[in-house]
């Protein structure tokens, strides 16, 4: 079996590389990025090729491809990989809302991955954990309305943004300590270090950003609820990894906290954390359970009249559950895999 990763040097690509060893240990790995280079990862050196080589006539054929590139490069390389015989899992936004391309969350709708399709899309890193929490509740109680407020990590913006953030945070806080600037007046009010910033990229005439529209539209497509009443507001917060989402839910049927907890305790790829106070439910705690959606802080909405309105929190490692892990599990619907925790 030959597996290729495009974007192998990026944050998501490196996580994929780690997971491939667990899922398909005997497979040949072929890695691509913007140019020929050597990647040091997990104590090993990997040869990485320029992706443009895939466009040559003698480019090698293969079986499974993970594409972890920005939108415009995905649009360039995904069709070529399909031509080369690969089953392709694209992690960008390019194909997510294409009605002919399944948008797959393993544990929710992986039945969409079968031999009739060669290209599937991996949802946004906030959508995956949210739908893992919502789907079992939809199946048991029915979903009325959903409201989400997200607090998203900087690694969601890729390796260059993350490295800048770490360097600027270190320098900014060192300067604060040195000058006695307790409040951070010397920090840049438009930048990420020490700050909360609207996730406002590509805000359109609706007033909502592309991140907010993705969370709304992708959830509707995955849950197969095109009319779902769902609202979202998204921010970036100054943490390295772990997207955190506060969720207000209206269920169709009245129920109890115990009945909801019972459903979440056995939900696929969910780690349910009991207790309204949210012990162990932090952004960085997702690094301890990288391949699960952490779901907790379950409590009755203070405005509830009849057992249908609930609050909960969902958090997940955006690079693993929110990206690489979901893609590998989706790929297992085609190709199985050795590690049961990475299979659907
Ligand atoms: N980060 C997340 O939390 C997350 C979650 C879900 C989905 N995604 C999506 O996954 C994709 C990758 O995200 P990321 O965070 O891993 O990005 P990243 O860290 O910025 O990495 C980008 C990758 O793209 C490669 N690349 C850049 N220009 C290229 C070109 N012209 N031709 C071929 N390869 C090129 C880079 O290679 P070089 O090293 O050679 O420049 C690098 O391997 C994006 O579509 C993103 O939206 C990200």
Closest to 219 measured CA to CA, from 145, 316, 313, 292: 145
pTM (whole model) above 0.95? yes
Closest to 247 measured CA to CA, from 318, 150, 321, 156: 150
- How much is the pLDDT for 106? 98
- Which residue has the CA at smallest separation from atom 41 of ligand 1? 34
Query: For a pocket test of ligand 1, which of 19, 69, 159, 283 has the largest count of ligand atoms closer than 8 A to its C-beta?
Result: 69
Report the atom number in ligand 1 closest to the C-alpha of 50. Answer: 33
Closest to 66 measured CA to CA, from 291, 335, 340, 300: 335
Residue 87: enclosing H or E segment and its boundaries? strand 87-90
Delineate the domains of the chain, giving CATH numbers in brackets.
Answer: 2-123+323-342 (3.40.50.720), 127-153+196-317 (3.30.360.10)
Is 235 marked active-site? no
| Phi and psi angles of residue 163, each rounded to the nearest 5 degrees, phi first | -65, -40
What is the biggest distance separating any 2 CA atoms in the chain, rounded to whole angstroms? Answer: 66
- How much is the pLDDT for 220? 98
- How much is the pLDDT for 258? 98
**Pair 26, 32: CB distance under 8 Å:** no
Please write the tens of the pLDDT for every residue from 289-299: 999 999 999 99
| Phi and psi angles of residue 90, each rounded to the nearest 5 degrees, phi first | -100, 135
Please write the tens of the pLDDT for every residue from 67-107: 999 999 999 999 999 999 999 999 999 999 999 999 999 99
What's the mean pLDDT in 208-216?
Answer: 98
- Regarding the beta carbon of 154 and ligand 1, being less than 6 Å apart is answered no
| Positions of E strands within 205-318 | 229-236, 243-251, 270-273, 293-300, 309-316
Cα-to-chain-centroid distance, residue 122: 8
Report the atom number in ligand 1 closest to the C-alpha of 12. Answer: 16
Please write the tens of the pLDDT for every residue from 138-195: 999 999 999 999 999 999 999 999 999 999 999 999 999 999 999 999 999 999 999 9
């Amino acid at each position: 079996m030959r597996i290729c990763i495009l974007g192998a040097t990026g944050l998501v690509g490196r996580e994929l590389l780690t997971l491939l060893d667990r899922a398909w240990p005997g497979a040949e790995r072929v890695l691509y990025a913007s140019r020929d280079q050597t990647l040091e990862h997990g104590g090993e050196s990997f040869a990485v090729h320029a992706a443009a080589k895939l466009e040559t006539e003698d480019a090698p054929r293969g079986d499974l491809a993970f594409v972890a590139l920005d939108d415009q490069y995905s649009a360039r390389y995904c069709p070529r990989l399909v031509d080369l015989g690969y089953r392709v899992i694209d992690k960008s936004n390019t194909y997510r809302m294409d009605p002919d391309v399944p948008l797959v969350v393993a544990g929710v709708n992986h039945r969409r991955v079968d031999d009739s399709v060669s290209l599937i899309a991996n949802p946004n890193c906030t959508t995956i954990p949210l739908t893992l929490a919502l789907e079992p509740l939809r199946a048991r109680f029915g979903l009325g309305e959903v409201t989400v407020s997200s607090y998203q990590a900087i690694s969601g913006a890729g390796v260059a943004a993350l490295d800048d953030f770490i360097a600027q945070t270190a320098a900014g806080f060192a300067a604060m300590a040195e000058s006695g600037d307790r409040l951070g007046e010397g920090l840049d009010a438009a930048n990420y270090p020490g700050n909360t910033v609207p996730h406002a990229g590509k805000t359109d005439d609706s007033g909502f950003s592309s991140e907010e529209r993705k969370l709304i539209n992708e959830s509707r497509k995955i849950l197969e609820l095109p009319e779902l009443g769902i609202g979202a507001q998204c921010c970036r917060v100054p943490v390295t990894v772990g997207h955190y989402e506060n969720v207000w839910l209206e269920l169709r049927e009245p129920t109890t906290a115990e009945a909801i907890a019972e459903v979440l305790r056995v939900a696929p790829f969910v780690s349910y954390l009991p207790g309204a106070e949210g012990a162990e439910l932090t952004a960085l705690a997702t690094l301890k359970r990288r391949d699960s959606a952490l779901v907790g802080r379950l409590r009755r909405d203070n405005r509830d009249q009849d057992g249908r309105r609930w609050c909960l929190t969902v958090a997940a490692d955006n690079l693993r559950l929110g990206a690489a892990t979901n893609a590998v599990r989706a790929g297992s619907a085609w190709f199985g895999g050795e590690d049961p925790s990475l299979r659907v």
